Structure 1
């Protein structure tokens, strides 16, 4: 991290509403948890009285099975954001330029600036066509947040090949990829993959995730990761969750069906962006503040997407449980 840059970088707005009186559609987390999660957390209480085993062998093995890579290429992290910080920390230096999609997750910009580097925005749907030469790194978010579309796997692999040829590290944020059937880039040469357990498993407060990279990139990530960087409960619960394949498949099917049903109804009143993720971006033809207030008065928190660059009249809504989704769509239709 560049000390001269730290004081000039601000915090980034995110979704998430702690008001128990509203249903939170502003954060894209699964409202369900895998069976046995609470028991796994409770069982970690005793071992948590000791330091974690810094090798995290069981967690690495579960993560490797989850994304189909070698366990030695897995780097445990306290959430996907820590994986991103490590990725930029080992690839970006002060004065460098980094390609980033826009609009997309605001933490890319922040983390790059903390390294003393400059994020160079490219339209989110055109970044795979950009020339990665002369950049220290390039970032792809798939599916992209907040727009929702996943990168075409063949196009992403082609972009990775061009990044390798240009000696540009490709940082791939796959926080929502497990809601799709697309293959991960985990274990591919030249790529650093960042994964989060927050979204699929509905545990944002646990802070569990991992990075995957091979060769020198992987060695750099593992050397730079904090010692005991993943708590005992996070490692135990994370490993348990990643082995719940039935839960993952059921969640994917539910989200896909509910997303399509919500889209069919919302398209009558809003511009609905194509999405492969557990959320929908809506273009609002009217007063966004009034829509947010209308939803809250009826018990729903939405994500004000105007905080994302290039979005000036948009909200993002998560895909939750069927009865919750139905109630939200009724409320939004009444506003329109």
Structure 2
């Protein structure tokens, strides 16, 4: 094996996050079981088994919708960043809820026949050529298979073993899983219910997610379309010293967009500046949207850390990222857009005494 195993470390932040996640799931299941029969009356008798199945199914879809919303929300507002740190825990919990839903549905609807329950699910309805009558159960199983693969490979061992590009490609399939689940629920409702509540909720979820991603993407494109100005030898303008001291919070970064290449994150650390590549070595997270904690730039996605002066992760970690040279031209700070080899130390640029 080319990757080493490192045990998961549950710090206090993770413990609180997971506790709140479990409490939220329990509250949702309880609330759905109490309110759904009144708010969404069914054309058919709803047994406790059916109610249980729908509770876990709707909970899983709601959780997946929230997971997909966290990314763009964090790009639009830093206050959502804490939700991003342990999003993989959220994803694994969503998979577990989905497994309970699948077990409940298969056991109730297909568990008492002569055929294997799984065979019954896939072949009891053979209308694969029909749109309205399409066997929606197969769509749900396909989505669940994607979530299971993502949950199984969620540990960083698989990130190192598969390599980040392959791992990222696998986990981008979450959007396919979401689309399959939307179709799974929509077709299931069309075939068994007449209430407009669920179609309206599904449409709202798709519309809100689409709008969040569109707004976040538009902001990103607007920033990329305004590359930083360069001097005669190609160094890029970061900003005036007075402006950086007055408007760049300590521990935060200003993003510089080169005409070509990756964005550069210029971090202020007290009265000094350091420049690193904006892409985290872990999962390509936006380092410039993080902050300096305990002397290290901390990625807003999963908390990976790198020293701003040399781009090295603190021991015992060995990850490294590219650094950049900075210089002063009078009262202007400039950055060389040519990245230095990962782990190269660059002396921080002093800004002078802080303004009182």
TM interval, shorter chain, is under 0.3
- Bigger relative contact order, structure 1 or 2, given CA contacts below 8 A and separation 6+? 1
TM-score by length of 2: 0.24
Higher share of residues assigned strand: 1
Instruction: Name whichever structure is richer in helix by fraction.
Output: 2
Larger Rg computed on CA atoms: 2
TM-score after normalising by structure 1: 0.25
